Amino acid sequence: MSLDAKSHTRPGRTTATASLARVRRGSLAVLVLLVVEYGIGMYVNLYVTIPRTGHGRSAGSALAGGPAMLSVHAAIGLLLGLGALGVFVEAVMARHPVAIALSALGLFALAFASATGASFASSGDPADSMGMAVLAGVGLLCYAANLYVLSPPAVGGWVYRGWTQEPGASKGRP
Query: What tens digit of pLDDT does each residue of 19-51 get?
Result: 899 999 999 999 999 999 999 999 988 898 876
What is d(CA 130, CA 136) in angstroms, rounded to the nearest whole number?
A: 10
Q: Report the alpha-carbon angle 122-115-64, nearest 5.
A: 60
Q: Report the alpha-carbon angle 16-30-102, nearest 5.
A: 60
pTM equals 0.76
What local confidence, expressed as pLDDT, does residue 50 receive? Answer: 77
Q: Which of the residues in the chain have pLDDT under 50?
A: 1, 10, 54, 161-166
The DSSP code sequence of 30-71 is: HHHHHHHHHHHHHHHHHH-PPPGGGTT--HHHHHHHS-HHHH
